[in-house]
Amino acid sequence: MSWGSLGYAAFFFALYLAAHMIARATVPEADPALLPMAGLLTAIGLTEIYRLGPTDAFKQGLWIVIGVALFAATLIGLRRDYRILESYKYLFGLGAIVLLFLPSIPGLGTTVNGARLWVSIGGFTFQPGEIAKIFLIIFLAGYLRGKREVLAQGRLKDLGPLLVIWGACMLVLVETNDLGSALLYFGIFLAMVYIATGRVAYVLSGVGLFAVGGFGAYEKIPHVHERVVIWLQPWTTKPVYCPLNGLPALRQDCQSYQLVKSLYSIGNGGFTGTGLGNGTFSTTTGTPLIPFVNTDFIYSALAQELGLIGASAMLLVFMVFVARGMKIAIQADDGFSKLLAAGLTFGFALQTFIIVGGVLRLIPLTGITLPFVSYGGSSVVTNFVLLAGLLLVSNRANARS
């Protein structure tokens, strides 16, 4: 314990108090549990990030301030009626596509770890994909509300938009080399189409299309192929070709190094964990053992230090958050609000599943952030805006009943 860490605690307590006051003033009838849960998750993440490196913790702290500011701005700006967003749905749809393709623009995008997801402007980097996710959900909520009856008829020509979105997702996948985000966008899209139309056939054909696209990507895109190979066989007993240096090496010493080290980190936690601050993340001489430990692999760090008990408790918080978000969707009384709340919540849940599931080797590992917990500005800010959206829908639903 140091004055530095106590200072963080005091500052963030004050920040949350402020966020709470704003929420009380703007959305008095909203679900009272969501903000504290988001606060808890952010605090867990910040504590772990501080423990891994105080410099990053300070930057993360700044991002949280910005996140809370945007949270407040969203609440204040849309407190009368957020449904005004519906009329700008095409603008949001267009915005989402523009944001998604920003990293592909030469001179603007930066490639990190094989994926083009970042935009860099004057030393300031952010991931436009995160914001695009919210824009996409708003667009879909508006679009599907209008078209749901037609879509529910199931005429072949109405499948057009579905195919367009599928194509766009695959393009994003090819452009950015990012299987995780493509899965996330497409998953959100399918869930929202299903909620709007109630037709399981759409979900099944969507899953089928994604499988075809995914298989194609696996065959044609080396980066995607590599992820799948790592997932299926992270350990080899004989040296195999290592694309990193072109020499033969055991796969665990080459491509699957990160995944394997992350599993070792989780395994080292055991049932009770090593205790916060006692985990092993570097050698005795200080060489880091887990790359990207505070972003993609924050869950491995937490699972090691908090153990099965702590990690499960944190996942339960995620589950309660999702359950309450879905409850808001059920309580809302117009289609746009229902679709918006359900889409935001499902996106939140699916993103958690994709990153933690990847770290746990349930699915191929793709680098996306763990909502509220991972280090990363775009992610923190986006999730606070997502939270504001849920509170707005909740407030309206409760105020009317």
Partner 1 sequence: MNRQISAVALAALVLLAALIVGTTYWQTWAASGLATRQDNEIQRVAQFEIKRGLILAADGKTVLATNASQTLAGQRLFFRRYPTHGFASQTIGYSTQSRSRAGIERTLNSYLTASDANLGSIFSSLGDRLKGTTVTGNNVVLTLNVKAQKVAESLLQGVCGAAVAWNPQTGGIYAMASTPTYDPNLIETPKGYAKIQATKAPCTPAAPLLNRATQGLYPPGSTFKTITAAAALDSGTYTPSSTFIDPGYCTVYGKKVSNALDQNGPERYGKVSLVTAYQHSINAVFCNIGLQLGSGAILSEARKFGFYSVPPLETPGEARSASGLYDHGKLFTPKNPDTDVDAGRLAFGQERMLVTPLQMAMVAGAIANDGVIMKPHLLKEVLSPGGDTIVKVKPQPYRQATSPETASAIKDMMVAVVQAGTGTRAQIPGVMVGGKTGTAETGINHVYDAWFIFFAPAENPTIAGAVVVESQLNGFGGSVSAPIAKAIMQAILPPSSNTNP
Binding part of the chain for partner 1, among 63-71, 116-124, 315-323, 387-395 by CB under 8 A, reads 315-323
Q: Is 329 in the site for partner 1 (CB under 8 A)?
A: yes
| Residue 248 beta carbon to partner 1: minimum distance, rounded to whole angstroms | 16
| Residue 24 beta carbon to partner 1: minimum distance, rounded to whole angstroms | 27
Identify the residue among 119, 179, 191, 397 touching partner 1 (CB under 8 A).
191
Q: Is 353 in the site for partner 1 (CB under 8 A)?
A: yes
Nearer to partner 1, 116 or 148 (CB): 148
Identify the residue among 138, 173, 195, 391 touching partner 1 (CB under 8 A).
195
**Per-residue H/E/C for the chain:** CCHHHHHHHHHHHHHHHHHHHHHHHHCCCCCCCHHHHHHHHHHHHHHHHHHHCHHHHHHHHHHHHHHHHHHHHHHHHCCCCHHHHHHHHHHHHHHHHHHHHHHHCCCCEEEECCEEEEEEECCEEECHHHHHHHHHHHHHHHHHHHHHHHHHHCCHHHHHHHHHHHHHHHHHHHHHCCHHHHHHHHHHHHHHHHHHHCCHHHHHHHHHHHHHHHHHHHHHCHHHHHHHHHHHCCCCCCCEECCCCCCEECHHHCCCHHHHHHHHHHHHHCCCCCCCCCCCCECCCCCECCCCCCCCCHHHHHHHHHHHHHHHHHHHHHHHHHHHHHHHHHHCCCHHHHHHHHHHHHHHHHHHHHHHHHHCCCCCCCCCCCCCCCCCHHHHHHHHHHHHHHHHHHHHHHHHC
Q: Give CA–CA dist 391/9, Å, rounded.
A: 25
Residue pair 163/208 in contact (Cβ under 8 Å)? The answer is no
Q: Is 37 in the site for partner 1 (CB under 8 A)?
A: no
| Residue 121 beta carbon to partner 1: minimum distance, rounded to whole angstroms | 35
Number of chain residues interacting with partner 1 (CB under 8 A): 63
Nearer to partner 1, 95 or 343 (CB): 343
| Residue 283 beta carbon to partner 1: minimum distance, rounded to whole angstroms | 5
Binding part of the chain for partner 1, among 27-35, 129-137, 172-180, 188-196 by CB under 8 A, reads 188-196
Q: Give CA–CA dist 355/313, Å, rounded.
A: 17
Q: Is 69 in the site for partner 1 (CB under 8 A)?
A: no
| Residue 61 beta carbon to partner 1: minimum distance, rounded to whole angstroms | 24
Nearer to partner 1, 12 or 189 (CB): 189
| Residue 385 beta carbon to partner 1: minimum distance, rounded to whole angstroms | 20
Binding part of the chain for partner 1, among 61-69, 83-91, 172-180, 320-328 by CB under 8 A, reads 320-328
Nearer to partner 1, 342 or 380 (CB): 342
Please list every residue from 273 through 292 that binds partner 1, using CB under 8 A.
274-275, 279-286, 289-290
Q: Is 267 in the site for partner 1 (CB under 8 A)?
A: yes
Report the interface residues with partner 1, using CB under 8 A: 191, 194-196, 198, 235, 250, 252-253, 260-261, 263-272, 274-275, 279-286, 289-290, 303-304, 307-308, 311-312, 315-316, 318-319, 322-323, 326, 329-330, 335, 338-339, 342, 345-346, 349-350, 352-353, 356-357, 360-362
